[in-house]
Chains A and B, each alone.
Chain A
Amino acid sequence: MRRSSTAAAGFTLVAALAAVEASAQPSAPGSGRIEVSAGAAWIGTQSYGAADASETTPTNTAFRLFSTASELGSAPLFGARVGVRVAGTLVVEGDASYGRPELRVTTSSDVESATGVTATEPIQQYMIGGGATWYFPTANRILPFVTGGGGYLRQLHDRKLLVDTGRYYQFGGGVVYLFTSRPDHGLKATGVRLDARAVVFKNGVAFDGGSHVAPSIAGSFLVRF
């Protein structure tokens, strides 16, 4: 039963690609003024470093009770983006995403041999911002681009008991692969967009209040009007 279902799905995919092949035309990257995309992303782990829980000795030095190592775990994100072509191949964008990474603190080296644990807490993360994407001029269906931007970071602790806010900045690049391109239609193009970015987070739930970089890859379905 499973095998026959897989075969059917594979056939459908092949048929769809054939249809795209038939309709897609080499397109100027700037065709269409409005660009909308929605999809999923994965964002990597951010290390918040190590710290000791220490007491003070009679000579004012630190005596370690136990050690901790902290991170915000990797997580899937779901997001959407709206862009407006402002000049040539330059698109100004607004974007928003949502994810649920896990805040983790691992304890070790306890002075009384308490078993180490990884204490966790689910975080709800919202990112709302903007930026710009510049497409390399090309007449192919594959449109490479570079992108950059930033925005507002909102992270809610477990059961929304507490809110931490911060900023994020991101830069990277990717490609858009156009399935269809019909400059004379209302729906001028459809395709997929693949992004690879470095995201710099500032503040939020980070324990040190500093900046932390995480890699991110994303895939989204794109339409142009």
Chain B
Amino acid sequence: MTRRRVIALIAVAAVVAMPAQPAFAYLEFGVTAGGRQVTLKWPQANVRYSVSNTSVPGVTAADFQAAVARAFASWEAVPTSAITYQFAGFTSAVPGRDDGLSTLGFQNRPDLDRVLAATNYVIDSATGALVESDIFFNSSFPWSVAANGDPARFDIESIALHEIGHMSGLGHSALGETELRAGGGRLVTAAEAVMFPIAYAVGSTAGRTLRADDIAGITDLYPTGDTASRGSISGRVTKNGTPVFGAHVVAFDPVTHAMVGSFTLNAQGQFSIGSLSPGPRILRVEPIDDAETDSFFDASRNVDIDFRAAFVDRLVVVPRGGDSGEVAIAVVPK
């Protein structure tokens, strides 16, 4: 088997690079393999992982393993997703090595002063399938496994939940609000996706719960057999008649009050939001202005953030087992 290590730092606090162009919603990752674009995902339903036998102040290896196990269990508990995870034991291996083990553990990376944790991949370059994925937690930050959080430390379970989303193939969601800090960086005001690229501040445990956007994303990657009960919305965003790349489109469910978002991801300004429960939706489109655009897309992509947030003036119906039909959304410059 031909393997290619893809150097990817998909970080919670800041994103340094993206491995490839995103392909579809939530975001999922797309990789080019065998001359074609494929969605990055595990080929098998059960993913085995190991935990490094290392500890940091306040967190033993056993504490760490228990916290990440809870995070894995949260993803595994999504009833519409078929992926499962299995703890393969402690290891002396460390994350970031092409050793055939998917390893989670601490590494001291003071050089990455805004990166709490990161996930990388080993990908079969022939098929595009995931072969291995490691997650490192930056031990230059203070960590906690306290049940109610520690006001001076980051919560391992919350950050693990985000990174396991990456490990499973999910990219970042834009369902979050931030404000710029005087000293640089952004402070999260609120988020409605574990996969939002910026972490809650120290002490918060709000990131321990998967949201509708995360659930739709993992369901889209690893659907259970009951796909006929779910549907999708697709459409196109334009500004002055020109397609918009990188617009964030959010579907609000007036029944459950849940929100699921996606992006326009091609030169035609098209988007698709899949794995939605049937029913009407309010659509809202907004520019990506609550995180750096390279948190979502390759820096070379020309993401358009010069337009006003807008609602679609009709309810869009998600049919059972089908698609809404193209929804045309016209936005105006700021």
Q: Are B259 and A53 in contact, CB atoms less than 8 angstroms apart? A: yes
Chain A residues within 8 Å of B, Cβ to Cβ: 48, 51-60, 63, 65-66, 68, 70, 103, 105, 107, 110-121, 157-159, 161-162, 205, 207-209
- How many residue pairs link A and B with beta carbons under 8 A? The number is 118
How many angstroms between the C-alpha atoms of A54 and B313 in the bound complex?
A: 20
Q: Are A51 and B254 in contact, CB atoms less than 8 angstroms apart? A: yes
Min C-beta distance of B256 to chain A, whole Å: 9
Q: Are A120 and B315 in contact, CB atoms less than 8 angstroms apart? A: yes
Q: Are A105 and B317 in contact, CB atoms less than 8 angstroms apart? A: no
Mask of B243-286 contacts with A, CB within 8 angstroms, 1/0: 00000000010110101000000000000000000111010101
Knowing A53-B252, A162-B278, A162-B318 touch, does A59 contact B204 (C-beta < 8 A)?
Answer: yes
Q: Any chain A CB within 8 A of the CB of B181?
A: no
Q: Are B254 and A55 in contact, CB atoms less than 8 angstroms apart? A: no
Knowing A57-B189, A114-B311 touch, does A66 contact B254 (C-beta < 8 A)?
Answer: no
Query: Pick the contact of B254 from A58, A68, A111 — CB < 8 Å?
Result: A68
Chain B residues within 8 Å of A, Cβ to Cβ: 175-177, 188-192, 200-201, 203-206, 209, 211, 252, 254-255, 257, 259, 278-280, 282, 284, 286, 308-315, 317-320, 322, 324-325
Query: Pick the contact of B309 from A52, A103, A113, A159 — CB < 8 Å?
Result: A113
Q: Return chain A residues, CB-CB under 8 Å to B205.
A: 60
Knowing A70-B254, A161-B322 touch, does A119 contact B206 (C-beta < 8 A)?
Answer: no
How many angstroms between the C-alpha atoms of A27 and B18 in the bound complex?
A: 86
Q: Are A58 and B201 in contact, CB atoms less than 8 angstroms apart? A: yes
Q: Are A118 and B313 in contact, CB atoms less than 8 angstroms apart? A: yes
Q: Are B257 and A158 in contact, CB atoms less than 8 angstroms apart? A: no
Q: Return the chain B residue nearest A114 by Cβ.
A: B309
Knowing A51-B254, A66-B284 touch, does A56 contact B191 (C-beta < 8 A)?
Answer: yes
Q: Are A119 and B282 in contact, CB atoms less than 8 angstroms apart? A: yes
Query: Pick the contact of B317 from A55, A70, A114, A161 — CB < 8 Å?
Result: A161
Knowing A103-B280, A105-B254 touch, does A119 contact B319 (C-beta < 8 A)?
Answer: no
Q: Return chain A residues, CB-CB under 8 Å to B319.
A: 161-162
4 A-B pairs with least C-beta separation: A63-B190, A55-B190, A121-B315, A58-B204
Query: Pick the contact of A114 from B254, B284, B322 — CB < 8 Å?
Result: B284
Q: Return chain A residues, CB-CB under 8 Å to B286.
A: 112, 114
Q: Are B314 and A114 in contact, CB atoms less than 8 angstroms apart? A: no
Q: Are A57 and B190 in contact, CB atoms less than 8 angstroms apart? A: yes
Query: Pick the contact of A107 from B188, B211, B282 — CB < 8 Å?
Result: B282
How many angstroms between the C-alpha atoms of A54 and B209 in the bound complex?
A: 15
Most buried by A among B176, B257, B311, B314: B311
Q: Are B311 and A115 in contact, CB atoms less than 8 angstroms apart? A: yes
How many angstroms between the C-alpha atoms of A214 and B52 in the bound complex?
A: 63
Q: Are B311 and A121 in contact, CB atoms less than 8 angstroms apart? A: no
Min C-beta distance of B257 to chain A, whole Å: 5
Q: 9 extra interchain contacts, Cβ-Cβ under 8 A, other than A56-B211, A121-B314, A161-B324? A: A54-B192, A55-B190, A58-B190, A58-B203, A65-B177, A117-B311, A117-B312, A119-B313, A119-B314
Knowing A53-B252, A63-B190, A113-B309 touch, does A58 contact B177 (C-beta < 8 A)?
Answer: no
How many angstroms between the C-alpha atoms of A66 and B322 in the bound complex?
A: 28
Q: Return chain A residues, CB-CB under 8 Å to B308.
A: 112-114
Q: Are A56 and B254 in contact, CB atoms less than 8 angstroms apart? A: no
Q: Return chain A residues, CB-CB under 8 Å to B191.
A: 55-56
